[in-house]
Amino acid sequence: MQITGIIGAMDVEVAILRSMMKNARTETVSGIDFIIGSLEGRRVVLARSGVGKVFAALCAQTMILKFGVTEIVNSGVAGTLTPELHIGDVAISTACVQHDMDTSAGDPVGLISGINMIELPADTKIADELDRVCAAANVNHRLGVIASGDQFVHTTERRVWIVSTFNASAVEMEAAAIAQVCFVNKIPFAAIRVISDEASGDVKIDYMTFVKAAAATSSDIALRWLRARA
């Protein structure tokens, strides 16, 4: 039986989805509330992981081992790294990288020890479905690499470095950790991120102004995706 896991880092990223779940019950594991129920006729486990890669990985692993999800989508907001994506536009992962992973004394920057990969590929079926949903909704979107790290990127120097090193189109703090957990557990995964800021000097102003609207768009796309599969 297919069970879809949906992870957002913050309350604002999951609140709309949580309010629309049917036959919902909540279980708390390691301080994370997992809401089990249905959305748009699909069996869903929804959770707010908390911010950062460790919380995201903890949430994803629990979803897989305890709640038996068969696929995971990470829904939320991100900063843009490309002139093709602006506030309110959508980035869909073709792969995720950890831009703060660095054992470069002997390895390429971003190489994840143990699995020896830099890019963690998204599930092509889910990414294609999200692509079609965005196109049908006339939402400007791009498929590309999403970069994750335990830092809020707000300087031009770091932004340029991430783009030149990983050719990433968006930056945030959780997707690549979830992607790594899904990869080692052989669980299909993709991330959808709505742009909430320009990852520039004005990032804090942009983020506080647009994060709620961006999270609402991300939730709407997730709902459209579930509806299209029902």
Q: Which of 89, 100, 123, 197 does the annotation list as catalytic?
A: 197
Residue 13 is among the residues annotated as catalytic for this protein: yes
Tokens 């913050």 map to which residue?
A: 10
Q: Is 23 left (phi over 0), alpha (psi -120 to 50) or beta?
A: left
Residues in the chain: 230
**Annotated catalytic residue: which of 13, 40, 100, 172?**
13
Residue given tokens 């102003």 in the structure block: 205
Radius of gyration of the chain (CA): 16
* Residue 27 known to be catalytic: no
Instruction: Please list, in sequence order, all residues whose beta carbon lies within 8 angstroms of the beta carbon of residue 161, skipping any fewer than 6 positions away.
Output: none
Other beta carbons less than 10 A from residue 94's beta carbon = 19
Q: Which residues are catalytic?
A: 13, 197
